[in-house]
Amino acid sequence: MTARMALTALLLSAAAAPAALDVPTRSVSSSRQFVIYATDPGIRSAVAIKAEDLKGAVLEALRAKDEWKLPIILNIGSTPPSAKRPPRFLLGIYEGDGGQAKVQFDVFDLGLLKEPEFQTQILTAILLEAAYRRTPPKAGRPFEPPPAWVVEGLAERIRSRDDDSRAGLYASLLSSANPPRLADFLGVQPGRLDATSRTIYCVQAAALLDAVLALPDGRTGLRQYLSVPHRSPALLSEVVAAFPSLGKDGGPLSRKWVLAIARASAANRVDLLDERETAKELDRLLAVKALPDPKHPEVASMSGPYALPAIARSQNGRFILAQAENGLLQLSLRAHPLYKSLVDEYLGITRDLIAKPKRRLDKRIATAEEIRAGLSRQTSEARDYLDWVEATKIKTENTDLSSTLQDIDNLEAAPSRTDAISRLLDAASERGW
């Protein structure tokens, strides 16, 4: 009997062991729309919170209810389909178990989690579900992505809310002698733009979204506009048709859009930095350091401008340089005139390394560093001189010198005349004649 009980306990412990070691790799968000797959529970939790926060921002902007039908699968860290030239992510609509459609966002590059593009793609997934929740496409059929201006406009509104430093971009990037044309703007594909052009596009998209939401039927019309897929989202007539208050002409919307751009530019204008603040911010941006790389462990100990080429060739170099590029772009818009060309030179170096990581730019970096050291030395000497002038300035009045100056003024003043003609002229002057 004792042996049988011991054998039973052993079998039970053996059966329970796999369950204890089986760690779940799936998390479900609070609204249960987002299902996150990742091996790291911290990543699953952070992604679930981020996704719900973005959906809340969309619902708040549209003043819509949460009536989702299709689940959104966020597969973080999965194996890419191609080993030669793997994409960073994939987003699409697929047929799940039981024939139910689902929106799936596969992230193959974990570096994407720290980039603005990750937020943009989650917003795309949310709007994609809204457009196809009633009529999902059949398996294998193509689908239409949501309008880019809505996605980028929402993303820019959220970034502006979370990052006050972006305020300096509006006034500088939106200044143009010729106002933009709405019809041309709607035809732009932001995914093909460079970093600077895409920043301008995002700001313009946010202004267009603000102009639409300010219409009497703005939110109602936008909810209906996003509830169905659009084959031609670049057509101005299709956008205007969603808002009856605009009539049949796109002119009113174009004028409201330009006005919204001007309003955002005026509301977010900031002053230029002085030379000391510019130098300090440039020092901070250039203090880049590579992340640990098993293939190149020596790179992790490098930092500063001379480490930029090595960082560019490292595993996470593109992400690090992209962050530096964004910071240098913002600094260029507010830099002191003495440092403006130097900041632009570092911005050009960073962009060249992003485009071609194997380029040799050591001499160019060395020249820029010599200029930076010279500027720092000259501005420091100028500040020391001004401080010396201020410290040695006479702060008390010399009474003897003031008395002497007053005597000189009295001697140089014309003597008063008392003859009859002078008295007559003085009397006429006092009467205003």
Distance CA 210, CA 254 (A): 12
pLDDT of residue 165: 47
% of the chain with per-residue pLDDT over 70: 77
Q: Is the pLDDT of residue 175 over 90?
A: no
Q: Where are the alpha helices (DSSP H) in 63-166?
A: 116-132, 148-162
Distance CA 263, CA 250 (A): 20
156 and 251 assigned to the same domain = yes
Distance CA 417, CA 38 (A): 102
Question: What DSSP designation does 291 have?
Answer: P
Confidence of residue 31 (pLDDT cuts 50, 70, 90): very high
Distance CA 366, CA 372 (A): 10
pLDDT of residue 398: 60
Domain boundary (231, 249, 270) is at 270
140 and 151 assigned to the same domain = no
Question: What DSSP designation does 306 have?
Answer: G
Determine, yes or no, domain membership for 208.
yes
Q: Is the pLDDT of residue 155 over 90?
A: yes
pLDDT of residue 3: 44
Name the residue type at position 410: N
Determine, yes or no, domain membership for 13.
no
Strands, sheet with 72-76, edge to edge from the N-terminal-most edge strand = 26-28, 34-37, 72-76, 101-107, 89-95
Element (H, E) at 36: strand 34-37
Q: Choose among 110, 106, 90: nearest CA to 35.
A: 106
Most confident of 170-174, 274-278, 385-389: 274-278
Distance CA 123, CA 13 (A): 46
Q: Is the pLDDT of residue 51 over 60?
A: yes
Determine, yes or no, domain membership for 241.
yes
171 and 136 assigned to the same domain = no
Residue 216 main-chain phi, psi, to 5 deg: -55, -40
371 and 421 assigned to the same domain = no
Mean pLDDT lowest among 135-139, 174-178, 409-413: 174-178
Domain boundary (270, 289, 324) is at 270
Structure tokens at 32: 């249960």
Confidence of residue 317 (pLDDT cuts 50, 70, 90): confident
Q: Is the pLDDT of residue 395 over 60?
A: no
Residue 351's alpha-carbon distances to 45, 88, 194, 214, 223, in angstroms, are 34, 20, 10, 38, 39
pLDDT of residue 4: 45
291 and 365 assigned to the same domain = yes
122 and 210 assigned to the same domain = no
Domain that holds residue 410: 401-430
Q: Is the pLDDT of residue 339 over 50?
A: yes
Domain boundary (251, 270, 289) is at 270
pLDDT of residue 275: 85
* Mean pLDDT, rounded, for 380-395: 73
Distance CA 91, CA 407 (A): 89
Determine, yes or no, domain membership for 127.
yes
Confidence of residue 230 (pLDDT cuts 50, 70, 90): confident
Number of folded domains that form the chain: 4
Confidence of residue 90 (pLDDT cuts 50, 70, 90): very high
Q: Is the pLDDT of residue 9 over 50?
A: no
Confidence of residue 14 (pLDDT cuts 50, 70, 90): very low
Residue in the block written with tokens 């509006």: 170
Structure tokens at 4: 């049988």
Longest dimension (CA), the chain: 148
Determine, yes or no, domain membership for 306.
yes
Confidence of residue 34 (pLDDT cuts 50, 70, 90): very high
Determine, yes or no, domain membership for 112.
yes
Q: What is the pLDDT of residues 271-315, one digit of tens each?
A: 678 888 888 889 888 887 766 655 666 665 677 888 888 888 877
Q: Which residue would you say has higher pLDDT here, 109 or 81?
A: 109
137 and 167 assigned to the same domain = no
pLDDT of residue 269: 47
- What contacts 118, CB < 8 A, 6 or more positions away? 107, 112
256 and 341 assigned to the same domain = no
34 and 96 assigned to the same domain = yes
Distance CA 285, CA 165 (A): 14
77 and 179 assigned to the same domain = no
Predicted structure pTM score: 0.58
Residue 71 main-chain phi, psi, to 5 deg: -70, 155
Determine, yes or no, domain membership for 18.
no
Determine the angle formed by the axes of helices 195-213 and 317-334, rounding to 10 degrees: 70
Beta pairing partners, 230: none
pLDDT of residue 225: 93
pLDDT of residue 60: 93
Average pLDDT of the chain, as a whole number: 79
Determine, yes or no, domain membership for 17.
no
Taking a C-beta distance cutoff of 8 angstroms, is the pair 153, 205 a contact?
yes
Q: Choose among 50, 221, 45: nearest CA to 120.
A: 50
Mean pLDDT lowest among 37-51, 126-140, 225-239, 285-299: 285-299
Q: Is the pLDDT of residue 73 over 90?
A: yes
Q: What is the pLDDT of residues 187-200, one digit of tens each?
A: 888 888 877 778 88
Contacts 24+ apart (CB under 8 A), 137-142: 137/93, 137/101, 138/95, 139/94, 139/95
pLDDT of residue 377: 87
Q: Is the pLDDT of residue 323 over 90?
A: no
Taking a C-beta distance cutoff of 8 angstroms, is the pair 183, 149 a contact?
no
139 and 38 assigned to the same domain = yes
Mean pLDDT lowest among 78-87, 293-302, 385-394: 293-302
99 and 152 assigned to the same domain = no
